[in-house]
Each structure stands twice: as structure tokens, then as C-alpha cells.
Amino acid sequence: MIRTVLGDLDPAQLGTTNTHEHLFQVSPLLPGDELDDEQRSGEEARMLRDSGFAAMIDATPYGLGRDPEALARISAATGLRIVATTGRHREAHYAAEHPTRQWSVEQLTELFVHDITRGMPVADAAVESASEQQAVAVHDGSPVRAGILKGGIDYWHISGFERTTLLALAAAHRRTGAAIMVHLEFCTGAHEVLDLLAAEGVPSNRVLLAHADRDPDAGLHTSLAERGAFLGYDGFARPRTRSDAELLDLTAEVVSRGAGDRVVLGGDVARRTRYIAYGGMPGLAFLGTRYLPRLRALVGDGAVDRMLVANPARLLTLSH
């Protein structure tokens, strides 16, 4: 089963999936780029759906402005299937006084497992202590639950905070079977993260390396794919750092080396100044309307459909 904000789903029903966007996100690292308006985020979700997507992962983990009840309302209104995230982002996203800085592996594990099995808190900001009883988000009488775990590390660095998160994610994975998305800076530390998680009982084929394309090295990617890891390509429309032309070439090369069954796609647009509904550009529809036609012309429909449908369904299926 795949766990969406509106309930569990047969993986065959998931459909075309964008594996990395944010409908809600508030981080001290991104001042002025808050995604916190349900109506506007809902409009943007509708544009994503109309660009050809049936499903998305909302990749915002604990403490960064999640709004599970709003996600459920947007999903119900648009028909877009949404998988919500639990976990903790890389350390830089959390203020110096953030309460979870003091939490142990065990406390974090309980939070993550609770989000997946029983339901997410209505508002993360209200959570002061892992032992406190929290109001669970509800839609139409059912709890709104997360369906994927997430952590993150820094550029060639795993801080104590981030290592604690990874250990808790592994423990939560062992209990729930949910996949683990890991935010990487320029794809650094990818093998090291897979090693750390494998030592904790997480097979690499349950791990999605988000932003792998920030180091467009087909050899590196093939070596990660050979271990079974999923490669998140989600850096389109950022010509200041890397042209889409380079990402198209990378994808063609990785597919030709036989690793196309490990690639998943997302936009990770993530900032209100990049959302059309908030008055910015290019919006969540960019991937479907501008990039995918070029990718299809280059590698063919079969390869692209695997990246959009079969690969995300395999990743998101709870392994027990």
C-alpha cells in the first residue's frame, strides 16, 4: 500500500507522480519565501495536476510549516494524490532554539512512527515535547498520515543533529516500511548516507537521494543506482546554477547505462517567489509543460513513464 493524506492506495492506482514539491513550507533558511497560504498553494496544486500529474510528494518534514489538514483539503478538492512527509530536514533549517534539537533518537523515532501510523499533528509548532499528547490532523473523520520519511545532510558533512535524525529515520523505517528521502547538498555524501542507513537495517532500494542531479555525474549516479538507491532529479529551471540542457544529457546517459529504473522526477520549486499562484515564476507546471516534452523526445515515452509512474510507486509502497 501507498499512504496518502486521504488514505491508503493500491500502488497500481498512484499514477504520474512528482516526487518532490512543497505546498507548505516555512523555514528560517528561506525568509520571504514562505508557502503558507492554503488558497494559493491549492491553486498551484491545480496547475500541477493540469500539467499532467496525478500525484505528488509534499516533501516538507517536521517543524517547517507543515499543514496536513490543508494538504488533505487540497487533495480532495483537486483530485491530486498527495503523500505527506515526516522526518527532520538538515540542521540549517532549524532555529537555534528549536525544541527538537534536544531530542534523542528514541524521541524522534516515536514522532516519525506516530506521524505514519496514527497521524500527523495539526500544527508542528504546538509540539513542545515528544511525550505530550497532540491533536492529530483529521479529514472526513480519518487521521491524516505521512507516507514517507525524510532527512538531510550538509555539504560533505553529517552533523550530530543530522546523524541523530538518520538513526531515527532508520528505526522508523524498520517499524513502518516507509521509504527514506535524504536531502543532499550537490549529491555529496551519497554513498556515506547509504552506508550509514544500511548499517541500521535500511536497504538502499528504500532510499531516495534527493537533488542527486546537482552533481550531474552519470558515473556517480550509476554507482548509486547499482546499490539500488533511487536518484531524485529535481533541479530543473535553475539556469543560474545548471542548464536544463545538462540535466537532459545526464538523464539520457544514465538511462543508456541501464539505471533508468532508479530515476524519479520532481520540481522542488519550493519558494513562493517561484510559484505562479503567489505571483512568481515558473511554477509547479514547468516540469510537465516545459521539461518533460524535451525529455520524452530525447529518451522516449517508455523511459519517462517509468520515472513518473513505476519508479515512484515502487519507492512509496510501504515494505511491510
* Residues binding Zn ion (CB under 5 A): 59, 268, 270
Q: What's the rounded Cα separation, in Å, for the pair 138 and 125?
A: 17
33 is in an annotated binding site: no
150 is in an annotated binding site: yes
268 is in an annotated binding site: yes
Give one DSSP letter per residue of 121-156, joined into a string.
Answer: BS-GGG---TTS--PBPEETTEE--EEEEEEE-BTT
Closer Cβ to Zn ion, 59 or 307, answer by number: 59
Q: Which helix (H) or strand (E) covers residue 233, if one does?
A: strand 230-233
Closer Cβ to Zn ion, 110 or 268, answer by number: 268
- From the CB of 270, what's the least distance to Zn ion, in Å? 5
183 is in an annotated binding site: yes
Nearest one of 141, 183, 187, 188 to 25, comparing CA atoms:
183
221 is in an annotated binding site: no
Closer Cβ to Zn ion, 55 or 303, answer by number: 55
- From the CB of 31, what's the least distance to Zn ion, in Å? 16
Q: What's the rounded Cα separation, in Å, for the pair 79 and 89?
A: 28
- From the CB of 232, what's the least distance to Zn ion, in Å? 9
- From the CB of 131, what's the least distance to Zn ion, in Å? 30
Closer Cβ to Zn ion, 130 or 180, answer by number: 180
234 is in an annotated binding site: no
CA 174 centroid distance within chain: 19
Nearest one of 148, 122, 63, 72 to 97, comparing CA atoms:
63
Q: What's the rounded Cα separation, in Å, for the pair 84 and 23?
A: 10
- From the CB of 81, what's the least distance to Zn ion, in Å? 18
Binding-site members for Zn(2+) are: 20, 22, 150, 183, 211, 268
Binding-site members are: 20, 22, 150, 183, 211, 268
